[in-house]
Every structure is written in C-alpha cells, then in structure tokens.
Amino acid sequence: MAPHICSIVPPYLLNSIATNDQNDESHRLSAQHCLHHCESVNTKRSDRLAALALPRAVRAAHPIANKQSIVPEVLLQHIADSEGVDEETRARAAHDCEHIRQKTSAYKASLSGETPATDQHTLAYTAAKDAKDGFYRAVYDARHDADESDLPGSVVRVEGQQAVKDTAANEAFDNVGKVLDFYLQKFQWRSIDNNNMHVISSVHFGKDYENAFWDPDRMQMVFGDGHDFLYKFTACIDVIGHELTHAVTEHTSPLEYQGQPGALNEHISDVFGIMVKQMAEDETADKADWLIGEGCLLPDVKGVALRNMKNPGTAYDDPRFGKDPQPATMAGYKKTVQDNGGVHLYSGIPNRAFCLASLGFGGYSWEKAGQIWWKAMNSGQVPPKCTFVQFADVTTEVAEELYGEEAAKIVRAAWTEVGVVRKTYA
C-alpha cells in the first residue's frame, strides 16, 4: 500500500468525495486525482522519514536523510539584481551569492578533476548557512502545472520585495513569515531546521487542485487553488503552520508515518498550526475555536473546518463530504489499513488531549502546554515508532520537569480523559 501525502486535507475526506454518488462525475474525478497524487508524493515522504529514523552513523551517509533545500544561486542573484527588493536585502543576497561562489571555487581548487554534483550541492548549502544573517523566503507560480519535476515554477516574490498583484503569492509569503516568526519568538527555533533554512513555496499548483502540502522531495510548500469544495489554502495560517511543522518534526523527533506514530506526526502539525493561529488572532485557550482549516471550506459546505481539536468528529457533516469520522477517545480506535493506519483519522485523539491540557493550564496555549509538547519533541525520548501511551508519558514527565507536580497532573488527566492510559493488571 502506498502511503498518503502529508497534506492538510485528509485522504478519508478526499475518498468520501470521490466515492459519494451525490457528487457529480467531475467532482469525483477531481478528488480521485488528489488521492492519486497523495499516494505518489508521500511515498517519498515515507522514504525520507525511514531514512531519518536510521542510527546516526548510518543516517549520516544516507542521501535522502541529508537532502537539504537551498535558495539556488540564480535566485540569490535575482534578489541581488531586482529593483523591487529593498537595498538591505539586495546587499545581503549579493554578499551571500559571492560567498557561495568563493567557497565553491576554493573547493574546486583543492581537488583534481571535476567536483561531484552532490559535493557541490552540500558545499553550496554549507556556504549559504555560513553567509546569511537570516532566511530567505521566495514564492513561485507553478502556473497550474501538476508535474512536480517542474517545481518550483516562475519566481513571483522574494525576500525584501513589496507585495505583488498575485494575492495567493502574497498570502503564502506573509503567512510563511508569520509561522517562522512564531517558532522564533515562542521556541527560539530559527526557520525549519533551526539554522535559518530558506523557505520556498509554490502557488497555483495543478488545475483546481484542492489541497496544500509540504513536498518532502522538493523540500518546499505547495498550494493548490481549490475548486468546488475547498479553497483559500494560502490564506489559512494554521494550514501553513501545520505543513511547515511536518518539516520541523524531521529536525526534532522524526515520527514514522504509520499507525500511532504517524497519527502523532499529524497531531504535532495540528498542535503548532493551531497555536500559530491562536497567536495571530490573540486568543487564549478558553476563547479559541480550536478549528483546523476553518477558512478552507466553501460557504455552502455544511461544516466549520477540516478538523475540530476540541471536539473531534464534529468538524463537518455534509451530504457530499459525509460526516467527520475522527474519534475523540481511544474507545473509537480500531486498527485499519486505510490512511497509513489512520494517521489523519486518529490524530484527533491526541489533539483533544492537547486542547484539554491547554484549557487546564489556562492562558495562551503556547505558554505551558505548547512548551511541554515542544520540549518533549526535542527531548530525545520520542522514538520513531512512538505510541500514544509513550508520548503521554514523555509529556507528563516534561510537564513535571518544567512546571512541577500539579502541571504533570493536568497533562496526565488530559491523556486519561481521551483514554490514553497504561493497562493495569490485577
């Protein structure tokens, strides 16, 4: 079975649209197209996560695990030469571009013969990290091309440039910046990799493509325009927070994209997606709606969002979509071969636990609950095949370490409420 793409719209929803007789043929075919694309792209993601789960000594030599995304030299030169970019950013890009060239020349001089392309790529990435004071954002136009080998497309807006006429490009550029600012301000994490990795996005992917995703092979964000049911992916900051967090997870505790660890992988993305949304809207845990993808449903859809973290299973109930199938507790957990063992389906269980913990602490979700989840992911105690119970134990231990016994009780109570408890034997 091919795994599903790590995307904001869950495959069970796409499958429901694709198989529902109440939808006309064009709508079903559109959903089927998205599903097929999910399967092909996320195979690459599973390979990457598997490589990241290898022992460190083995992983160091693995080409997939070491793949990094850099702003190509041509883009740095574009920024440096563009009249629409502010002077400070132009100067920095010119400096970084020259730095990469100098490093490359020095490396070539130290070798006899042609330098391997992979070594040049690694060198350029290292040089870029050494040179820059911050990350560069760039948004491209995929021009409705669904061939990923053609990504990123044509450059539309780059770091230091004012807003352009393309609304989706501006939304992607601005919201990516807000998400990365959130990580820096609240968790002292610099860009995706904690080393100011450059962030590339492509808008207008495919024709009427109703999804948004982090492409693990191209190492970039990709946004469709939507069509009959789903749209406005670039406008939803929680969508962007969710997808970029999948990349962050690779640099903290990579979780296997299967079964419970896969559901935790999706859960972590929802956690950080909802926190950045709550920060953008200045909402405390008790005032927030806890809805993921709230702005993605077209007005005539009977629903409020793609997922409801506070009350899983209640996000939508539409004749064309079906009913939101997420269970809220382990009482609804059943092993399945669909959706990589239910990675999107069962993420609602830990999602509700995080919501309950945040409500138990009060205030903003990132002040205590978010800090606990973040430290847990950086603790080295979350294995690639982590179960819900293991993750509950780690977050409870971290809560006590950070905030004391009462905090640990709040976190443990949240997990108990959703049925994530260790078996006891008389």
State the catalytic residues.
Answer: 243, 344
- Angle, helices 237-250/259-280, rounded to nearest 10 degrees: 130
CA dihedral 237, 243, 248, 253 (to 10 degrees): 130
Q: Please tell me the distance from the alpha carbon of residue 78 to that of residue 388, in angstroms, as a whole number.
A: 47
Q: Alpha carbon of 158 to those of 82, 85, 322: distances in Å? A: 9, 8, 41
Residue 402 DSSP symbol: H
- Strand pairing report for 317-318 and 322-323: antiparallel
Task: Find where tokens 């640990």 sit.
Answer: 408
Q: Degrees (nearest 5) of the Cα angle 394, 311, 209?
A: 95
Say how far apart CA 274 and CA 126 lie, in whole Å.
33
Vertex 50: Cα angle to 44 and 55 (nearest 5): 145
Compute, in degrees rounded to 10, the torsion defined by CA atoms 178, 155, 294, 374. -40
Closest CA to 125 of 104, 153, 152: 104
